[in-house]
Chain A
Amino acid sequence: MRMRALGVAALAALAFAATACGGSQPASQSASSAAPSASASTSAAKSGGTLVIWADPSRVKPLKPFADQFGTENGVTVEVKEISKDNQTTFLTASEQGSGPDIMIGAHDWIGNLVQNGAIDPVTLTDEQKAAFSAKAIQAVTFNGQIYGAPYAVENIALIRNTKLAPEAPATIEDMIAKGKALKAAGKVKEVLCIPVGQKGDAFHVYPIFASAGGALFGTTSSGDPDAKQVLVGSPDSVKAFGKLKDLGEKGDGALRTSITNENYIVNFAAGKCAYLISGPWAMSEVKKGGITYDISAVPAFKDGKPATPFVGVQTFFVASKGKNKALAQEFVANYVTNKDVAKALYEADPRPPALTAALQEVQASDPDAVKFMDAGKDGIPMPAIPEMAAIWEPFGIAENAVVKGGDAPKAAAAAQKAIDGSLKH
């Protein structure tokens, strides 16, 4: 008798727990912090419209008011969720499991990989909208002839110099190195140039110098996109370029040094330990904290060299193809964030030059740096978005590191080419 009562009570509790769990939203949300979007999707099913946006920490706050405004205008809830690590992988894995966002924010060079994994949809922009962006931004988000997202910020590296130590912008790399060496000899600086190399090289930062020396990563297809079938890292021109990097390296001018790393290159410049820094807009807050006077110009080219073209990266809003609310996501990306005010708010939170020409013009007045960075990237090429680019970074960096330490350029270039070819073919 007693036993049966206990059993009935327990079963009742079970049933109660089941219904309580299905009905109460907050309880289920706290129960599953591991699967954040599972709860988001159930709430979406209930209210009829929830737009989930994933962004990195610096973009969550400025996006919030606009997301809320969009929500009020359309009678939907907009959730902006912060993703702080491995954003691309997190997005891919979550999409695959059906728990991803409706909109993802990321760099344009993810496009190739996201497309081959079927994770994002093309976005149709009107001719008018396309014209409102800088041509480079539109070129960057175009992949296989389709536009895969709305660009909102453009960033590239430039030469930032300490105007007290080096009042004039150098016309050539040779001028810059000569000035840097003179300052070092006079004991005014400790380093000729602050550019990260580290123990594994840094292809992104060294690329303008490499390109000016005639080096190249890929050939180009007939449509002007990088051609994954033609890897040129080991080509004779690239070997010459690696030779130039060797001349700038530790056994040569000492401008490239493995002890200058991604962790210390900006700090050293901000502390006045070098007159020149090659970096991007992300360095500016640290540089300003250092309290030095500075100016920004394009990375110079070699005297008889090709233009020093930096890589241009474009921050982009993507529409997730496995999102729950694709119509809303398209509306937000194609018709809402292409708005000037959103671009400006994002700029204010994280000062990287806006991709919308109108927003850039407004920002210009208060922040000349943004325009100077933009000008410095005028000749830049959008970072290759093809998935094969992933195979370049590490072998290229290691070849760079080897020649900077004084290694043999043809050998390093050939080894990098072989490694890249090998991993592209598997």
Chain B
Amino acid sequence: MALDVREAVETETSPRPRREITTAFVVSRVAVLAVTAAILLYAVPPLVAAGSWVSLALLCAASAAIAFLYLTRRFVPAKYLVPGTVFLIAFQMFPVAYTVTTAFTNFGDGHRGDKDAAVTAIETGSVRQAPGSPEYSLTAALRGEELVFLLVDPKTKQVRLGDAKGLSPLAGAQVGVTGKVLSAPGLTVLKAPEAAARGKEISALAVPTADGVIKANGLSRAVEGKAALVYDAGCDCVRGNGDTWKADEGQGYFVNAKGEHLAQGWQVGVGLGNFARVLTNPTISGYFAGVLGWNLVFALASVLGTFALGMSVALALHHPRMRGTRFYRIALILPYAMPAFAMLLVWRDMFNRDFGLINQLLGANVDWLGEPGTARFGVILVNVWLGFPYMFLVTTGALQAIPRELTEAAAIDGATPWKAFRRVTLPLLLVALTPLLISSFAFNFNNFNAIALTTDGGPFPADSPQVGATDLLITYTFRLAFGAGGAQFGFAAAISVFIFAIVALISAVAFRRTRKQEEVYA
């Protein structure tokens, strides 16, 4: 890529080319910038509502920087780099960083929110209706600007006024047949839509009574209730029902003296706990090696199988005497063009022992997905079927780039076609395709769909229901993290970090070897 010297001299001496600023140019720039700004500013109202001022400041700074960058004539390379960098941060770095930080928390079912949310949930969940208290018919009304409740006892038809101070008798109110108050002296009775608009205030108003509080239950009823469990900030504990649950910041639960905890917990950091669990829990570490071994076999067999098949077909179609190549190409691409999701389900049903196409065609009675050996063979077969058109496509492309003279020269030198392929075509192909093979390996290493939709990890041995014969690390992880104990995002993130490390290590080694290979053949 050495520049022509004369050209370089010319570009330096010639005056900087000035682009004519046309109307279309201005309009298009303004339009693009306006759209970008609109998208950025769309995030402002939710951020203001949530009160996240740091994010808001970052957003404003980013918007200003983008506007400045594209409104000046300088920083030309940055104009091209910034969009890519923004997307890289948003869709690559942020998810990775988020996964890694999640791995250090107990985020999951029972620990989704923060402590305040857990306290609110515990208190609201424990509100019981006071025994024997009436189900009031409720009408919301305004006393001046203040919201009050007009409560009608359905049995006595007695009307009372409830406000933040308590209940007081109300005289002169007119009650309709349904128990709603139609009018009352000195008060503005709210109609349904007006009451609906003040829903938040109505939910918030609590009328204190001797036994608890009267709260609205919807817009037309109110009940007297009392929270059985109450949070006490002084001891950082929840009291009620003759017991005390102390907050345990290590677990994110309120725990009592017997070690029992309340259902609602909150998210806390657990340090390396999730990682330690992966390494020390016998049900996880005990099966890890076996699953990893099969996982490597699966990924390797998928890559080699698809590559061998795809390349053979590509070579066959590349032969000069081959006819009808267009038809074959279309037919071969079909598996690739079908949605893998649906195809995997179709294959699963084809493997069914009694109703499946394969046994019916072969006249066999093999329990394909019910025995470890056949199930493993089956999933590899399906994966090869789904994957070889891709290898066929890329090999066809790479073959076009290898000059035919090379193989012809080899033939003149007396090489057999096999030898010419082995010594000339394959090495040249591999130089171009090895990076693709490595990425295909990384993809198949984590090929969740191929397993989850066909065998779902099965068949499972009777004595260990946790890990099946065809489980990959990723499907196994998924079952551990989302199957039994509800969703455990923190734990799942920790295992993802491990899987990432394994794939990264294998890929790094493979890429190193590729570089050596290039040095040899280049």
- Which residues 124-164 of B have a CB within 8 angstroms of A? 124-129, 135
| A145–B118 alpha-carbon span in the complex (Å) | 19
With A38-B46, A387-B109 as known contacts, state yes or no: A121 contacts B124, CB within 8 Å: yes
Stretch from B325-333, B380-388, B457-465 forming part of the interface with A: B457-465
B26-46 vs A, Cβ < 8 Å mask (1 yes, 0 no): 100111011101110110111
Of chain A, the residue at the smallest CB distance from B355 is: A264
Interface of chain B, main secondary structure? mixed
Is the C-beta of B197 less than 8 angstroms from some C-beta in chain A? yes
Contact at A74–B71, with CB atoms within 8 Å? Answer: no
Chain A residues near B117 (CB, 8 Å)?
118
| A358–B154 alpha-carbon span in the complex (Å) | 23
| A13–B30 alpha-carbon span in the complex (Å) | 7
A252-288 vs B, Cβ < 8 Å mask (1 yes, 0 no): 0000011111011000100000000000000000000
Quote the shortest CB–CB distance from B121 to chain A (angstroms): 3
Quote the shortest CB–CB distance from A423 to chain B (angstroms): 3
With A259-B352, A327-B199, A327-B202 as known contacts, state yes or no: A21 contacts B220, CB within 8 Å: no
Stretch from A216-224, A372-380, A414-422 forming part of the interface with B: A414-422
Chain A residues near B460 (CB, 8 Å)?
200, 398, 401-402
Contact at B192–A74, with CB atoms within 8 Å? Answer: yes
With A18-B41, A21-B38 as known contacts, state yes or no: A399 contacts B462, CB within 8 Å: yes
Is the C-beta of B435 less than 8 angstroms from some C-beta in chain A? no
Quote the shortest CB–CB distance from A349 to chain B (angstroms): 25
Stretch from B395-403, B418-426, B438-446, B478-486 forming part of the interface with A: B478-486
Contact at A10–B218, with CB atoms within 8 Å? Answer: no
Is the C-beta of A48 less than 8 angstroms from some C-beta in chain B? yes
Contact at B485–A423, with CB atoms within 8 Å? Answer: yes
Q: How large is the interface on B (under 10, 10 to 19, 20 to 34, 35 or more residues)?
A: 35 or more
Contact at B199–A113, with CB atoms within 8 Å? Answer: no
Quote the shortest CB–CB distance from B187 to chain A (angstroms): 19
Contact at A10–B30, with CB atoms within 8 Å? Answer: yes
Contact at B113–A18, with CB atoms within 8 Å? Answer: no
Contact at A17–B35, with CB atoms within 8 Å? Answer: yes
Contact at B484–A420, with CB atoms within 8 Å? Answer: yes
Is the C-beta of A134 less than 8 angstroms from some C-beta in chain B? no
Contact at B456–A199, with CB atoms within 8 Å? Answer: yes
Quote the shortest CB–CB distance from A389 to chain B (angstroms): 10
Contact at A199–B42, with CB atoms within 8 Å? Answer: no
Contact at B221–A334, with CB atoms within 8 Å? Answer: yes
Is the C-beta of A89 less than 8 angstroms from some C-beta in chain B? yes
- Which residues 13-29 of A have a CB within 8 angstroms of B? 13-14, 16-18, 20-22, 28
Is the C-beta of B216 less than 8 angstroms from some C-beta in chain A? yes
Contact at B71–A10, with CB atoms within 8 Å? Answer: yes
Chain A residues near B218 (CB, 8 Å)?
327-328, 330-335
Q: A49-B197, A263-B349 are in contact. List 14 more A-B contacts (CB 8 A).
A: A6-B26, A10-B30, A17-B37, A17-B38, A22-B41, A73-B192, A74-B192, A75-B194, A115-B125, A116-B109, A122-B125, A124-B223, A259-B354, A394-B479
23 inter-chain pairs at a CB distance below 8 angstroms, sorted by A residue, are A9-B26, A13-B31, A18-B37, A22-B45, A42-B45, A75-B194, A98-B50, A199-B369, A200-B460, A258-B367, A259-B355, A261-B352, A325-B196, A327-B199, A328-B196, A331-B220, A334-B221, A390-B485, A395-B466, A402-B462, A411-B463, A419-B466, A423-B483
